[in-house]
Amino acid sequence: MKSYRKELWFEVKARREFINITDRVRQAVRDSGVQEGLCLVNAMHITASVFINDDESGLLADYEDWLEKLAPHEPTSKYRHNRTGEDNGDAHLKRQVMGREVVVAITGGELDFGPWEQIFYGEFDGRRRKRALIKIIGE
């Protein structure tokens, strides 16, 4: 059994951003040498998400609108978490809805995706350096 670990680092310039990381994950699978196994990708920050969906600009804009309706950033005073001096209570809730990680099967040395599936890093409290973890196991 092989095991491979890699961190992806991002300079997130906006508070919220969706970054397609599919090609970087594919390269990690190739670098791992694993032909049959599993690939875990998870956010290493509690205000970020990793999820799978279509890379279509309208859908990503819909996510932005939907998440802002579910957990609006302002007024920041509405979140008890922000009483600690933070202003990211909404980001924690958005992460909870979008999920922490994805697991994708590896078959024949490639990510075993359905049509249109892509892996995204979703950041909800950016404007600084962030990271995601890739962990690959298999043979």
pTM of the model: 0.96
DSSP classification of residue 118 = E
Task: Give how many domains the chain has, as a whole number.
Answer: 1
Residue 137: in which H helix or E strand, if any? Answer: strand 128-138
Report the CATH number that the domain containing residue 75 is assigned in CATH.
Answer: 2.60.120.460
Contact at 8 Å (CB) between 24 and 31? no
Task: Yes or no: say if 122 and 37 are a contact pair by the CB < 8 Å rule.
Answer: no
DSSP state of 39: E
Q: Containing domain of residue 61, as a range? A: 2-138
Q: pLDDT tens digits, the chain, 139 residues: what are they?
A: 999 999 999 999 999 999 999 999 999 999 999 999 999 999 999 999 999 999 999 999 999 999 999 999 999 999 999 999 999 999 999 999 999 999 999 999 999 999 999 999 999 999 999 999 999 999 9
